[in-house]
A and B are shown apart, each in its own frame.
Chain A
Amino acid sequence: MDTKKDGPLGSVMVVGGGIAGIQAALDLANTGYYVYMVEKSPAIGGVMSQLDKTFPTNDCAMCIISPKLVELGRHLNVKLLTVSEVEGIEGQAGRFTVTVKQRARYVDMEKCIACGLCAEKCPKKVDNEYNQGMSQRKAIYVKYPQAVPLKYSIDEANCIYLEKGKCRACEKLCPAGAVDFSQKDRTHNIEVGAVILSPGFQTCDAKSLVELYGHNPNVVTSLEFERLLSATGPTQGHLVRPSDHKEPKKIAWLQCVGSRDQHRKGAHSYCSGVCCMYAIKEAMVAKEHCQDPLDTAVFYMDMRTYGKDFEKYYNRARDEQGVRFIRSRVYNVEAVSGSDDLLIQYASEAGEQAENHPEIIVHQEQFDMVVLSVGVETQPETVELAKKLGVKLTEHNFAETGPFTPVSTSRPGIYVCGLFQGPKDIPFSVMEASAAACAAEIDLAPARGTQVKTRSVPPEQEISDQEPRIGVFVCNCGINIASVVDVKAVMAYAATLPNVVYSQEYLFTCSQDTQEKVKQTILEHKLNRVVVAACSPRTHEPLFQETMKDCGLNKYLFEMANIRDQDSWVHQKEPGPATDKAKDLVRMAVARAGLLKPLTEKPLVINQRALVVGGGVAGMNAALGLARQGFEAVIVEREPRLGGMSRHVSQTLEGLDVQEYVDKLTQEVKDAGIEVLVGSRLAGLSGYKGNFLSTVDTGNGTHKEITHGAVVVATGAREYKPREFGYGESDRVLTQLDLDRLIMEHPERVSKWQRVIMIQCVGSRNKDNPNCSKICCQGAVKHALRLKKMNPEIDVIVLFRDMRMYGVLEDHYTLARKEGVLFVRYDEKDQPEVTLGGSGIEIAFNDLVLGRRVSLGADAIVLGAATLAEDNEQLATMLKVPRNAEGFFIEAHAKLRPVDFASEGIYLCGTAHGPKPISESVAQAMAAAARAAAFLSNKEMTVGGVVAQVEPSLCAACLVCVRNCPYGVPRIDPEKGVSEINEALCQGCGTCVSECPAKAIRLGHYQDDQIMIKVDALLEGVV
């Protein structure tokens, strides 16, 4: 415990248990802080848990969030307070006292075994909010099947006993005696050093926005549609339209319902930032769900697929999946009389139709179902919470933050992340969560490790002299597996296999309560090997391995059979053969399990220094984020001074001075004692996570060696030098960065201009570079407004393809239109033509609204040039990290690990990850610092496990392993004359093992006998 009276406390409160809150809590708890998580509902998971799939990878949302829920639920340093809300706060940054009101759950969490008998017998049916009211639950309920904590709770407002004083059916039936009507609401006063707000959002009220919604069941919101697609939804994942339960043939999505709308009540002027992507996703996923071809159409104003690789997703939906995208304004949706269908009436953009019918540009089309892409908004309770905490809100009811301090609220010591900070998607929520964790960690650095508990794992059992005793646990995965595979039959079959002493099936094997049951079973039946037949080891193996450790079993005595991804999902229409295949997979896994051996891992000290490659805004913030937590940081910067690309930008869209900020950052870097090597580049890197050795070329042929435990990649990006539109041929054709420089250096020249035409998407969203560069629309609006300010008479015309002013940036777009900036759309296939003449510039383009060609002279043409990746090939090779086709680095997981690389100890931030504005780079840099801090704060790590080992007596020192290792790890020990493989460097691919002619090398966990017995088991009885 921290005893210094005025020092900060080593604990943090996270308010809101959605994906952002979960990430912040896990980062903090894994870095040495005790976390109180306050969640108002009975379970964590937030809106992400309600989603079916997630863009742009179409990963199953539950499958990727579930391991995080479980990790949080069982984390030693997280205290989870469900059905709880923050009532008030006292104190200041470093030492707050937060009052939390925890409502009575009426179920004793210690006793509840989540058997569900209570809910089965409860007579009161209530609309199930998890399924958006499309199904019913009971008054005693769990929020969803994988809920954490998986404990029932009684909904006070609907319980017959609590309302009328009679019933108590649940209490009588509960076999565990867990129902407890004597529970009272409780108030906790909790002392913490910092608070992170992640209360999330609600969707806009569709009722007030679309008349038919609520009256016609076939008009649903996007969140309702997610539930209709979900296996745990009201239709068990069978896509049927609500009115007649028939499979729909045609579905329409209406974009911007409640967003980008300044007029309707209940609507917001900002863009909700996520609806374009989720509509595309829903359209693609819906097509997969239908037996017959499904027609899908998205009615939109601008397609805002601005995130990393989002444009490729959009292209795939349109060009490969046949999703129709209709640029339009929908003005009416009505029921078609005599059927359950709906008629959409819309005005398209003018154009060819207008030539024949100048007065009518109105169309109509009939659909089976209409999905409203509803926007996001802050909940009224959150507005109240902000008031109680003294946190200022913006006009849109988001927490007020600054572009350079994206996670700091108006009250010191209180940070924000996720949707309450502004509209955003999951990856940015996760990133911001890590950034908020970083901010809190900086405040509380002196108290790190003072309030945490340490885990005691029972000593590992010696099992080498025991016969295998295998337990097989077969998962239903809700209905993901059980709707196709006969799980009970697989379980019964498993029991007949050699060495299997126990087999069981579970609804969700990964849920926390099931893991407890598995633990008990392992101990009770003295199991020494465990097989789980469920989903992918990629997502779930670590979780089950933790359970093994809790039982004193080596984690390598575990094997999975993937009967979901590789079976039930691909053989949905053949339940019989799918069940046979599940049996085959289980037989193979059991055979292998019998041969598994425990592997030992050894502790290694982690070097606590971090190397930051790149000294722009991202690199400096990452280095500061680490240094301020007490980790040494070294910045390597190619240019002669710090600042990177931001040195070429004068102000942000909000009008803040970027140079002043960069100067301040540079000073802060100096003050924090961060070593800065300018004019330098990383020339070599050896070693491994926790213990790298870098050689930095510091110019003039001098080199410096640096030892460090982590690397942050922040190498930035560059502006495309256009080959289009006469760029380089005339000083009147500029890029946005050129224009910025000209405004700064020669404002007198710029203020004389009468007309400026900007062309967007130059070098972006085309064949060579399919990405959207994200920042060019903002750049155009920023400069258009600046030009208007300098000379209100100037004509500024922006030729665009889609204006991607996502989130609250929309405000600036609205302002620009108000100020008279003209926005004219052009089509990719019909590019504007620029003619450079002696007297000036002529630009010709087709005005799609007027339906005719327009030709204009201009004083300058400004090109929204693409943001391209730097040439990072050498760095990528050195670090052994991947890049995408366009050269941007690829994070470990597009959704939930946005700043990690797959290999631990290496992190990513800023535009090296993908194009983004400064504010997002700042947040991402802080996130990278938090992730690196979580790794470095461990002080030691374990190595070994799945690595190659040489048997010296067999080694002939033939050098085959030395030549074939992709990482150059094996070397011939000069004294012993045999190959030696460093277990901390070995990546465990097994290439040397398969190449070694003497079979002198063995790969732990993948020995020949362990591999071949699976083949034998598969082919059993064939010959």
Chain B
Amino acid sequence: MPCTGRVAIIHLMKALEKGADGVFVAGCLEGDCHYQAGNLRARKRVAYVQELLKSIGMEPERVAMYNLSAGQGPRFAEICREMTERVRQLGPNPTRKNGERKEKAA
């Protein structure tokens, strides 16, 4: 992606449809967008997708927007851990039938 401004609603939804348990968008810090405001647009789209998920009975927390700079490696790792932990709590994506079965067996 050249910018999170290019992240479209369809990209997030498709990822979930294909079985991702969670999707997060990592944009530049607010106010620091290389393209001025792409990250702000992305945030709105993420919020829209969360609403869509709610309306189809899926947990909106499966998608998230984060902001950080390219120099914040440790923060990125922290976000990955945070997101992984959140998704683990939520359990597998319902579209992933195999995963669900596996989880139940375990």
Contact = CB atoms under 8 A, between A and B. Distances in A.
B19 interface: yes
A1008 B18 contact: no
B14 A991 contact: no
Interface in A950-1006: 964, 966-967, 987-991, 993-995, 1003, 1006
A1023 B38 contact: no
A1022 B3 contact: no
A414 B3 CA distance: 46
B1 A1006 contact: yes
A1006 B41 contact: no
Contact of B7 (A570, A882, A966, A994): A994
A964 B8 CA distance: 14
Contacts of A1006: 1-2, 6
B8 A993 contact: yes
B37 interface: yes
Contacts of B11: 1008, 1011-1012, 1015
A43 interface: no
A946 interface: yes
Contacts of B99: 1022
Contact of A987 (B20, B32, B35): B35
B18 A1023 contact: yes
Contact of B2 (A57, A902, A990, A1022): A990
A902 B2 CA distance: 14
Interface in A352-378: none
A570 B18 contact: no
Given A902-B34, A989-B38, A1015 B6 contact: no
Which of B18, B97, B98 has the most C-beta atoms of chain A within 10 angstroms of its own C-beta? B18
B77 to A, nearest CB: 7
A894 to B, nearest CB: 11
Interface residues of B, number: 32
Given A946-B2, A1016-B18, A991 B37 contact: yes
A1019 interface: yes
B63 to A, nearest CB: 13
Which of A57, A967, A1003, A1022 has the most C-beta atoms of chain B within 10 angstroms of its own C-beta? A1022
Contacts of B33: 966
A880 interface: yes
Contacts of B97: 1023
B96 A1022 contact: yes
A1003 B1 CA distance: 11
A310 to B, nearest CB: 15
A570 B73 CA distance: 9
Given A902-B34, A966-B36, A1022-B99, A994 B14 contact: no
Given A966-B38, A1022-B20, A1012 B6 contact: no
Contacts of B77: 570
Contact of A1015 (B15, B35, B95): B15
Interface in B54-101: 71, 73, 77, 95-99
B106 interface: no
Given A1015-B18, A1023-B18, A1008 B35 contact: no
A570 B7 CA distance: 25
B10 interface: yes
Contacts of A57: 71
B78 to A, nearest CB: 12
Contact of B36 (A570, A880, A902, A993): A880
Interface in B13-64: 14-15, 18-20, 32-38, 41, 45
A1016 B15 CA distance: 8
Interface residues of A, number: 27
Given A994-B41, A1023-B96, A1011 B18 contact: no
Contacts of B20: 1015, 1019, 1022
Contacts of B9: 994
Nearest to B17: A1023
Given A882-B32, A1012-B11, A991 B18 contact: no
B53 to A, nearest CB: 17
B5 A994 contact: yes
Contacts of A946: 2
A887 to B, nearest CB: 14
A990 B36 CA distance: 12
A993 B11 CA distance: 12
A57 B69 CA distance: 13
B43 to A, nearest CB: 12
Nearest to B20: A1019
A991 B96 contact: no
A1021 to B, nearest CB: 9
Nearest to B9: A994
Given A966-B36, A1022-B96, A989 B19 contact: no
B14 A993 contact: no
Contacts of A570: 73, 77
B41 A995 contact: yes
A76 to B, nearest CB: 30
A994 B34 contact: no
A1019 B18 contact: yes
Interface string A582-622: 00000000000000000000000000000000000000000
Contacts of A1016: 18
Nearest to A967: B36
Interface string A916-953: 00000000000000000000000000000010000000
B3 A990 contact: yes
A964 B41 contact: yes
Nearest to A566: B76
Which of A57, A964, A990, A1011 has the most C-beta atoms of chain B within 10 angstroms of its own C-beta? A990
A966 B35 contact: yes
Contacts of B1: 990, 1006, 1011
Nearest to A990: B6
A994 B6 contact: yes
A1015 B5 contact: no
Contact of A994 (B8, B15, B18, B32): B8
Nearest to A570: B77
Given A966-B35, A967-B36, A1011-B1, A1023 B95 contact: yes
A391 to B, nearest CB: 41
A346 to B, nearest CB: 34
Contacts of A988: 2
Nearest to A1019: B18
A678 B10 CA distance: 53
Contacts of B95: 1023
A989 B6 contact: yes
Interface of B: 1-3, 5-11, 14-15, 18-20, 32-38, 41, 45, 71, 73, 77, 95-99
Given A989-B3, A990-B1, A1003-B2, 8 more contacts: A902-B34, A946-B2, A991-B6, A991-B35, A994-B6, A994-B45, A1008-B11, A1023-B97
Closest 9 CB pairs of A and B: A990-B6, A989-B35, A991-B5, A1022-B19, A966-B36, A994-B8, A1023-B19, A989-B3, A1019-B18
17 contacts: A570-B77, A880-B36, A966-B37, A966-B38, A989-B34, A994-B7, A1003-B6, A1008-B11, A1011-B11, A1012-B10, A1016-B18, A1022-B19, A1022-B96, A1022-B99, A1023-B18, A1023-B19, A1023-B97
Interface of A: 57, 570, 880, 882, 902, 946, 964, 966-967, 987-991, 993-995, 1003, 1006, 1008, 1011-1012, 1015-1016, 1019, 1022-1023
